[in-house]
Amino acid sequence: MEQLNDQAAIPNLNANWVNAKGAWAIHIVLIIALKILFSIIPGIERDTSWTLTNLTYMFGSYLMFHWVRGIPFEFNAGAFDNLNMWEQMDNGDQFTPTKKFLLTVPICLFLASTHYTRYDLTYFTINTLALLGVIVPKLPVSHRLRVSFLSGHPDDRYLDER
């Protein structure tokens, strides 16, 4: 309970920017920029370009929203230290408009990359695994769930119980 009171006392600058104007557009701009970047590299075919775009966006999204915990600012007395950015967004509420958008973008990118790779089984498998790696942590069943071999600090999951 004390943890929740601390979180409500000061606005979270680390996660509030996702609701600002233009925050949604940056995801589309990044995807287009990645696609252009991978398309202009000599020797990379269209199939590989789409898969690399998908993998790069999914990896960056996972790293930003689900891997890194805490905030880079020191004004909140550690109120958000055990939460990743996805858990900090919208005060932890599920299925807000922003979270719906951030859930939809990887799915749409997966569908586009699967279509443009002509449903090749190898690319489909790679793209599906990348999609699952980003979608599963966003589901309500994964809220505040830590997988110890990925999180680095398995003891942190018990901080909420204290």
* pLDDT at 134 (0 to 100): 94
Asked if pLDDT for residue 5 goes beyond 70, the answer is: no
Q: For 107-161, what is each residue's pLDDT tens digit?
A: 999 999 999 999 999 999 999 999 999 999 888 877 677 665 555 554 444 444 4
Lowest mean pLDDT among 3-7, 83-87, 121-125, 132-136: 3-7
Residue 21 binned pLDDT confidence (cut-offs 50, 70, 90)? confident
The helix-helix angle for 97-116 and 121-135 (nearest 10°) equals 170
pLDDT band at residue 78 under the 50/70/90 scheme: low
- Within 8 A by CB and 6+ apart from 59, the residues are 130
Please count the CA atoms within 13 angstroms of the CA of 50 that sit on its side-chain side.
22
Positive or negative, the CA dihedral 86, 96, 93, 134 is negative
pLDDT number for residue 82: 74
In this prediction, residue 74 carries a pLDDT of 66
- Here the tokens at position 100 are 């719906």
Residues composing the chain: 162
pLDDT tens-place string over residues 30-64: 999 999 999 999 999 999 999 999 999 999 999 98
Q: Quick one: tokens of 101?
A: 């958008």
